[in-house]
Structure formats: structure tokens, C-alpha cells
Chain A
Amino acid sequence: MAGELSGILEHVDRIAELDLDDVEPTSHVVELENVLREDEPHRSLDRDVALAQAPDPAGGAFRVPSPQAEG
């Protein structure tokens, strides 16, 4: 995969040659003001429903292996 990634980066590197110092970057194409909503509580997923898709739910939470390496 290293060779493939180098080939892709070589192609991508062409844009490095463009003189774009004074150009503003575009992160979003549609003009949007801040999008706000009323600060009112609304229903979200029940905890049990959200946990139902987890590979290892336990005690109302997501269980994962210990962050401390064992042994």
C-alpha cells in the first residue's frame, strides 16, 4: 500500500505548485448564518434503545476491555 499512497500523493502534490497565497479557503459551499433552535428540551433516544446496538452493553453503559494492559 505504501507505493500506492506515494503515487496518489504525487498526483495530489500538483496543487502545491499553484500560487494561492491570497485565496480564502472554502470549508462550506452554502452561505449559512448560525443555525440555532429554541433552547427547549426534546426527546432523544431512550438509553436502552441506544445501548441495544452495542457489542457489549452492561449495567446501562458501554463495556470495553480495560485500558490497563493485563498481565
Chain B
Amino acid sequence: MAEMLDLTVVQAHEAIAAGELSAVEYAEAWTRAASDDELNAYLWRPMDGDSGAIAIEQPRTAPVAVKDIFCTEGVPTTAGSRILEGYRPPYTATAVRKLIEAGAPILGKLNMDEFAMGSSNENSAFGPVLNPWDRGRVPGGSSGGSAAAVAGGLAPWAIGTDTGGSIRQPASLCGIVGLKPTYGAISRYGMIAFASSLDQCGPLTRDVADAALLLSILQGADPCDSTSVGLPEAPHPPDREDLKGLRFAVPADLARDAIESGVREVFEATLATIERLGGEIAEVPLPHAEHGISAYYVIAPAEASSNLARYDGVRYGMRAETSGDVIEMYEATRAAGFGPEVKRRIMLGTYALSSGYYDAYYGQAQKVRTKIAGDFAAAFGDFDFVVTPTSPSVAFGLGEKTSDPLAMYLNDFFTVPMSLAGIPAISIPAGFAEPGGGGPQLPVGFQIAAPAFGEQKLLDAAHALEQAIGFDARPRCSGATYASIDGKNRTGSGGGGDE
């Protein structure tokens, strides 16, 4: 049994096609694995009830776990927020519908930072997810449940969303593969909106071949999302074994001082591996990338403040009981329903959009976005890829950064520029490093970014590099369980100093 769960999805599909493995037994084994969640990764599983509309008769694709940001007909969908407690969407997100149509049973809905706002999963109203490598540490976020489930053996693969790094950063901190596709590659229909010009669905998987397969199921234009265009062609399995003739750019102004020394060593070693495989490496200026965080933390909160106006206690979700008028009801509902990080971003966003400040903040941030996209376009004139560490650090401790929102935001330093430029980027596990403060070694991610719609070339190169790195370690399932931190962190009040 354990052996079948050790297979990648591509390997499992091959075994099923060869008649060596039963698709039904494989799916049942994963259902059992998911039922044994000690990481607080799942918010809902079919065993918790209400699964009618998404049940499938005959599995044809490996079961998949879904970030709880995807509307799923008849199934609780919370986006990690109290304000959507009790919500049962009347329709299913296109990404999930495509998975169901491919014959993939839905294993469950995965925990996340509230409305995808966070880099540690500590902003979930339903408690933090634990990192399977060290349960005293965060899995990253906002797709923390997705990354922990795949790394921790609770799902063979999962989908998440990435607005400024929310797939890549948790994939890095949990030692798995995470891909943010080109903006528009996958439909956002039914994906609860955070920052609409940045949000993108993508796969979190054990290896690059699984990411290619999951992307091939998910991608495509959708009449229900007018910003979706799909990929030029569905990805085929990556099979490249070398990197000959490929040019990799390292940002010349890469903030090396801000990177943990262990992470920096793994990054440098990976560059050496690229050269050994025949790839060329050179530095390239990306002068505006350093302003990515500033631009992002104007644009994303501005869009969020608009998108989250819909949670008002009228049409769905919770309503706070009040005796006053409708305005009082709105205020009480939003005060009770939203957590501190969401409130912080709504306030930042409304401020940045307010009359008199619009040009200085939102307008200026959109211009920085143009410059960052231009930096990448210039780099891709000479290079095939831009590479960075995915995250400046390995997984940090639960509670370590919750009192300083800005320090939390800086986790996204290397992932935000690609989001602003709308280009695809993948994080692959590249090795292990000791945390800055000492302690057992933890996974380190390596990020590769490609031009828009360059997913196939990106997957091919990432596959070649992954094979050469040979990262095949899995977390040992030991240590504290979720129950042991119950009561301390479960209130979901983290994120950055409560009010």
C-alpha cells in the first residue's frame, strides 16, 4: 500500500494503464491517506459530508486535492475565511470541473491563508497548516494546505493559486514542485477573486512531469472567463535531459544580502549544475524588480478592496446579528467575518485608490509594473530563462513573522516580479539548508521564469535540472501533531500583529 502512494502520478497512471494497479484501489488508498491528516491541511473531505455534486463514478485520473478558493457545487468553500462559513456554492469552478471531467476524484478542499492573503498559512480562520518537514514551522502560503498535503503524503497532487508567489513559495518551503502559469493560461471562473489582474491557478506536484500533466488538464480558454486564453498547445510530457544551448539569466541586482546563507549556497550549487548540463549563465540587469514588493502591495490590496466589497452579509456567507440599520449590519458582518490581514489589505487598498492618492500610489504602481515587464522582456531578448531562489529563506517558525507584516511581505521578494509581469515561473526543490537560526535542514526551492506562454520550454528545462539534482527526499512523519498546538494558534488571528 505504502508503495503505491510513493509513485508519482505519471508513474501511477502508467501502472494503471499496464494493469499493474487498480485505479479504484489507488483512489481509495489516497482517500485513506487524506483521512489521516495531522497537518490541518484539509478543511473538508468527502467523509465530512456534502459531497453529492462532485462525486465521480469511475476514477480515470489520480485523485486531486483542491485549494479551498475554488467554488465547488454543494461543497463547503470558505477561502479560509469566517465570512464564507456555511457557504455551499451553486456552481463549480472551471478548473475543478475540468479535473472532474478528466475522471479525477476530489480528495478534499485544502486550507489556505484567508482569501489567499499571506505567506505562511497563519492567516487562515481555521488555524495554520503545519510543515510536514518540521511541524513547528510554517508550510508557506497562501497555498500552504496544497503544498503540505502533497509533501506530507496526504494527496498525490493538488491545485493552488498564485497572486504574488502563493504556489511557488509554499512549494519551495515544503520541498515540492509548484508552477504559476502565464496569466490567462487557466480559467479563473469560480476561483474566488483576490487581485484579479494577478490571480492564476496552477499545479503543486511531486515532480515536473506531474506538473506538466496537471497543467495539460487545467489549461484552456473558457467563455466564462474573458481573460483566459489557454496555452498555444497542451503541454506534453517533459523529456529534455540536458540544458545545452539554453541561456539562464541571474538578476545582477539579486539581493544576495537578504538571502539566508544556506539558501544562497544551494542556489549557487544549482547554477553549477545548470552549467554542468550545458546551460549558460550570465548576469542581467532587472533594475525595477526591487520595486516589485512596493508595486505589488499597492496593486494587490487595491484590487482586493474592490473584490472583497461583495462580502456584505446579504447574498451568501455569514451575517452578524444586529439590531440596527443595514449599514450597521454590513459593518458588523465585515468586522466579525474578516481576519486582521484581510482588514489590513482592504484599508491599504482603499487608501491607495482614494481621491488625491490614486496617482501617487495606484497609478505609479501600474507604471512600475510596466517597467518590470519591460525588464523581463529585455532579458528574454538574450536569455531563455531568469532564475532566482524561490524564497529568501527556508521554512520559518510558526509565529516568527506574525508581528511584522512587512517582514512577512518580503518573503515574496523573488516571486512578485513574475506575477506583475504575468509570466510563467516554476519552483523546484534544489536541496537542503539549515535555517538562519540553526536547526535541522529544510528544503530549498529554485525558481525558473520564462517568457509568457513559454510553459513547454520551462517544463522541459525544469525536468532536465530536476533529474540532475535528484531531490527525492520525503519528510518523515513524526513530531508534534496538529492537536498539540490546538488552542495556541488555532484562532487564526495571526498574520501580523492583531489590532
Give the interface of A toward B (CB within 8 A).
1, 4-5, 7-9, 11-16, 18, 20, 23-30, 32, 35, 37, 45, 49-50, 52-56, 62, 64-70
User: Is B406 touching A7 in the complex (CB atoms < 8 A)?
Assistant: yes
Q: Which of B184, B317, B365, B497 contacts A15 (CB 8 A)?
A: B365
User: Is A23 touching B367 in the complex (CB atoms < 8 A)?
Assistant: yes
Q: Which of B291, B297, B365 contacts A8 (CB 8 A)?
A: B297
Given known A-B contacts A1-B340, A4-B405, A14-B291, A64 and B326 have beta carbons under 8 A apart: yes
* Complex alpha-carbon distance, A32 and B184, angstroms: 10
* Complex alpha-carbon distance, A5 and B324, angstroms: 30
Chain A residues within an 8 Å CB radius of B420: 29
User: Is B373 touching A26 in the complex (CB atoms < 8 A)?
Assistant: yes
Chain B residues within an 8 Å CB radius of A68: 325
User: Is A23 touching B326 in the complex (CB atoms < 8 A)?
Assistant: no
* Complex alpha-carbon distance, A28 and B196, angstroms: 9
User: Is B314 touching A64 in the complex (CB atoms < 8 A)?
Assistant: yes
**Does B316 interact with chain A (Cβ within 8 Å)?**
yes
Chain A residues within an 8 Å CB radius of B343: 1
User: Is B325 touching A69 in the complex (CB atoms < 8 A)?
Assistant: yes
* Complex alpha-carbon distance, A34 and B226, angstroms: 9
**Does B138 interact with chain A (Cβ within 8 Å)?**
no
Given contact pairs A53-B315, A55-B316, A56-B319, a sample of 7 additional A-B residue pairs in the complex whose CB atoms are under 8 Å apart: A11-B297, A18-B371, A23-B367, A29-B373, A30-B227, A53-B87, A55-B314
Chain B residues within an 8 Å CB radius of A45: 90-91
User: Is A28 touching B197 in the complex (CB atoms < 8 A)?
Assistant: yes
Q: Which of B183, B367, B409, B499 is the most central at the interface, judged by chain A CB atoms within 10 Å of its CB? A: B367
**Does B35 interact with chain A (Cβ within 8 Å)?**
no
Given known A-B contacts A15-B291, A15-B295, A20-B368, A29 and B183 have beta carbons under 8 A apart: yes
User: Is B294 touching A11 in the complex (CB atoms < 8 A)?
Assistant: yes
**Does B298 interact with chain A (Cβ within 8 Å)?**
yes
> Which positions 322-345 of chain B face chain A at CB distance < 8 Å?
322-329, 340, 343-344
CB distance from A39 to the nearest CB of B (A): 14
Q: Which of A8, A25, A32, A52 contacts B227 (CB 8 A)?
A: A32
What secondary structure prevails in chain A residues at the interface with B?
loop
**Does B313 interact with chain A (Cβ within 8 Å)?**
yes
Q: Which of B294, B314, B360, B365 contacts A54 (CB 8 A)?
A: B314
5 nearest A-B pairs in the assembled complex, by CB-CB distance: A29-B422, A25-B366, A55-B319, A53-B316, A35-B226
* Complex alpha-carbon distance, A5 and B409, angstroms: 13
CB distance from A5 to the nearest CB of B (A): 6
User: Is A53 touching B90 in the complex (CB atoms < 8 A)?
Assistant: yes
User: Is B368 touching A28 in the complex (CB atoms < 8 A)?
Assistant: no
Chain A residues within an 8 Å CB radius of B322: 65
Nearest to A22 among chain B residues (CB) is B367
Given known A-B contacts A20-B371, A25-B366, A29-B422, A11 and B406 have beta carbons under 8 A apart: yes
Chain A residues within an 8 Å CB radius of B227: 28, 30, 32
> Which positions 234-287 of chain B face chain A at CB distance < 8 Å?
none
CB distance from A47 to the nearest CB of B (A): 11
User: Is A50 touching B328 in the complex (CB atoms < 8 A)?
Assistant: no
Q: Which of B316, B329, B369 contacts A25 (CB 8 A)?
A: B369
Nearest to B325 among chain A residues (CB) is A69
Given known A-B contacts A8-B406, A65-B324, A67-B325, A26 and B497 have beta carbons under 8 A apart: no
Chain B residues within an 8 Å CB radius of A52: 90
Contacts A/B (CB < 8 Å), 9 sampled: A11-B409, A12-B361, A15-B364, A18-B368, A25-B370, A29-B183, A50-B90, A53-B89, A55-B313
Nearest to B303 among chain A residues (CB) is A27
User: Is B364 touching A16 in the complex (CB atoms < 8 A)?
Assistant: yes
A-contact 0/1 string along B290-328, CB 8 Å cutoff: 010111011000000000000001111111001111111
